[in-house]
């Protein structure tokens, strides 16, 4: 039976990519109320920093493959045309949509 990881030890530090778009490094420090282990070094947090949000997500939607970090940002109008048959309200509200490489290839015009 595999042991469950406990929360991080007080004062433990790791460096992660704090934004899915710019991947600006961020230092995480374990605090007294830390319940989960810290993410592994160089992992990418599932968030977008304020600078990238203002630059890209005001008029666009981020499409990202969470398995490899590959992403593109497309204008909201294009997103609505491409995904008109699906429930897109959540993606429009969050400005982020998780997808796979197959869709990203199609949007970038790549052929497999």
Q: Which of 6-20, 30-44, 65-79, 82-96 has the lowest mean pLDDT?
A: 82-96
Token pair, residue 86, equals 């699906």
The radius of gyration of the chain's CA atoms, rounded to the nearest angstrom, is 17
Q: What share of the chain is helix, strand, coil (3-state, %, to 5)?
A: 25, 20, 55
> What is the rounded CA–CA span in Å between residue 63 and residue 72?
5
Q: Is the pLDDT of residue 106 over 80?
A: yes
pLDDT, residue 58, reads 92
- Read off the pLDDT band of 109 (50, 70, 90): confident
What pTM was estimated for this model as a whole? 0.69
57 neighbors 97 (Cβ within 8 angstroms): no
Which tens digits make up the pLDDT trace of 38-69? 888 888 888 899 999 999 999 999 999 988 88
């Amino acid at each position: 039976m595999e042991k469950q990881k406990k929360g991080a030890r007080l004062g433990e530090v790791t460096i992660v990519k704090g934004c899915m778009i710019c991947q600006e490094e961020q230092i995480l420090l374990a605090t007294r109320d830390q319940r989960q282990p810290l993410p592994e070094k160089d992992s990418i947090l599932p968030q977008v920093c304020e600078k990238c949000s203002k630059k890209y997500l005001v008029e666009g939607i981020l499409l990202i493959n969470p398995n490899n970090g590959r992403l593109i940002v497309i204008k909201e109008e294009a997103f609505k045309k491409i995904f008109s048959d699906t429930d897109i309200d959540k993606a429009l509200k969050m400005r982020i949509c998780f997808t796979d490489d197959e869709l990203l290839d199609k949007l970038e015009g790549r052929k497999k």
